[in-house]
Amino acid sequence: TDRKKLHTAPVGQLFRLRPFHVLVATGGGYAGYRKYEDYKLEQLEKRGIEVPVRLASEWEVALYKSVPTRLLSRAWGRLNQVELPTWLRKPVYSLYIWTFGVNMKEAAVEDLHHYRNLSEFFRRKLKPQARPVCCVHSVISPSDGKILNFGQVKNCEVEQVKGVTYSLESFLGPRISTEEMHFSQAPPGNSFQQQLVTKEGNELYHCVIYLAPGDYHCFHSPTDWTVSHRRHFPGSLMSVNPGVARWIKELFCHNERVVLTGDWKHGFFSLTAVGATNVGSIRIYFDQDLHTNSPSYSKGSYNDFSFISNNNKEGIPMRKGEHLGEFNLGSTIVLIFEAPKDFKFNLKAGQKIRFGEALGSL
């Protein structure tokens, strides 16, 4: 009778799972499985074995989207800004350098103790001579990365990787009014693609560059052009590595992205920065009003901002190689532009490229 009574909660209460926990656990487990599948595909590619395309079903995409990648990316961003003790900086950054193959000899500051947090390390600047800008070719690579795909846009669809496409109109959004673009009105066409081509005899081209976590994270202007408009699409933050891009159709249309449109000497020109897991932060240096990965957003919405005003009727002029923006970690840049039919790319799919190297020319 002197023994203390042990009070226990009902078994049902102990093992009660909320829907959110189930989604996180299931989605996270499936995301891990996909990472393993991606690793196996990379090994096959290194051995020269062609991998057949297998697209994800709707339920697989929905399951992947159930992972709270936006919340995780915001948490990762805050963690990156935590100042590390001086004694801990070198071990942490050295592990990252070893994991992702970072070349610190190119960094403007090689001393690892200089970077107070991971965010500063990710956004490290390069030595001026590390990336010479090609003066001969008209379009250069805006960043370091891997070429996923390039070529002419056909049938209003763009290839994100070989054999996997996405809709041009879904990616860029509705046509921007001519009042916000200072080049001439294109003749009315039968398709969205034809409406973007402003000069007779021109074609629409595209190029997709994937930035890995170990790459230089800033991106630059790929040519001399004028930015007239910005369109921000809030969205998911799924991984954009080549394995996932091969698996999910219209991956770039699902993810958060910032579309900069304007014109160059041959007509329409656009650069799109696509967000990804842990890359919720996309920064455009001349656009202080842009805020990506906001906690509240409406699915399928987008926000427009015009750089043409009464005081600035020309937009934002950009010179080839000029600093344009940055990612936190790595992601993808998509170029879609108009050029004459004799424009030629100097690329191979899958090749590594560095900022300043030639993409193509007339």
Q: Are 356 and 134 in contact (CB under 8 A)?
A: yes
Q: What one-character-per-residue DSSP string does 258-317 give?
A: EEEEEEETTEEEEEEEEP-TT---EEETT-TT---S-S---TT--EEEES--SS-SS-EE
Q: Are 139 and 224 in contact (CB under 8 A)?
A: no
Q: What span, in angstroms and rounded, lies between the C-alpha atoms of 344 and 355?
A: 19
Torsion of CA 64, 70, 71, 75, to 10 degrees: 120
What residues have CB less than 8 Å from 82, skipping those under 6 apart? Answer: 117, 118
The gap between the terminal CA atoms of the chain, to the nearest Å, is 95
Q: What are the angstrom distances between the C-alpha of 243 and each of 60, 162, 238, 239, 282? A: 15, 11, 12, 9, 22
118-136: string of b/e by CB count within 10 Å (b at 16+)?
bbebbbbebeeebbebbee
Which sequence positions are flagged as catalytic?
144, 220, 331
What would you report as the CA-atom Rg of the chain, rounded to the nearest whole angstrom? 23
What residues have CB less than 8 Å from 321, skipping those under 6 apart? Answer: 133, 140, 220, 221, 356
